[in-house]
Amino acid sequence: MAISTGDKLPDVNLIRLGADGPEEVSTASLTQGRKVILFAVPGAYTPTCHSAHVPSFIRTKEQFDEKGVDEIVCVSVNDPFVMKAWGEATGASEAGISMLSDASSALTKAIGMDFDAPPAGLVARSKRYAMYLEDGVVKVFQAEESPGTCEVSGGEAMLDAI
């Protein structure tokens, strides 16, 4: 069963590539006492993720800042090295968007947002969604029906929702 509005985000470790290599980041420390937008994509460099989803949050980053959002986090089941490279390639890192790896799918599975699409080479991936969290509690949750669309989970849709 997928996470929904009013639920507390489970505490799992994600990974970022820091100055000294991979480092764990707990979702509890990421969200405690903070307003966070967390959005997930099926895969780095995949067409919709690369050309629509990440750019929508780059475009709207300043507007989220004005609404008091402390951090925007992009999560994918890719490894932290890919997430760092993708953040640099898209301009997301420069825009201030945190690119975190859920390499083991711990968060993705814990919130019921995992899927497989073997014909496309996607196994143990995350469905496309975005959520607005306050102190770790889901205030807005918007998931796409299809992994190839970015309508309700994009930056503009989340701005309208909060």
pLDDT at position 78? 94
pLDDT at position 83? 97
Nearest-angstrom CA–CA distance, 148 and 161: 21
- For the chain, 162 residues long, give each residue's pLDDT as a single digit of tens: 789 999 999 999 999 999 999 999 999 999 999 999 999 999 898 889 899 999 999 999 999 999 999 999 999 999 999 999 999 999 999 999 999 999 999 999 999 999 877 677 766 789 999 999 999 999 999 999 987 899 999 999 999 999
Query: Containing domain of residue 34, as a range?
Result: 13-161
pLDDT at position 117? 73
Greatest pairwise CA separation for the chain in angstroms: 42
- Per the annotation, the verdict on 150 as an active-site residue is no
Catalytic-role residue among 37, 41, 49, 75: 49
In a domain, 46, yes or no: yes
Burial class (CB in 10 A: 0-12, 13-18, 19+), 13: middle
In a domain, 155, yes or no: yes
Q: What does the buried/exposed string (b/e) look like for 35-55 if buried means 16 or more CB atoms within 10 Å of the residue's CB?
A: bbbbbbbbbbebebbbebbbb
Nearest-angstrom CA–CA distance, 160 and 112: 25
In a domain, 3, yes or no: no
In a domain, 5, yes or no: no
Q: What residue has token string 């799992």?
A: 12
CATH code of 105's domain: 3.40.30.10
Q: How many domains would you assign to the chain?
A: 1
Helix residue ranges, H only, 17-53: 27-31, 47-48
Residue 41 near residue 49 (C-beta atoms within 8 A): yes
In a domain, 123, yes or no: yes
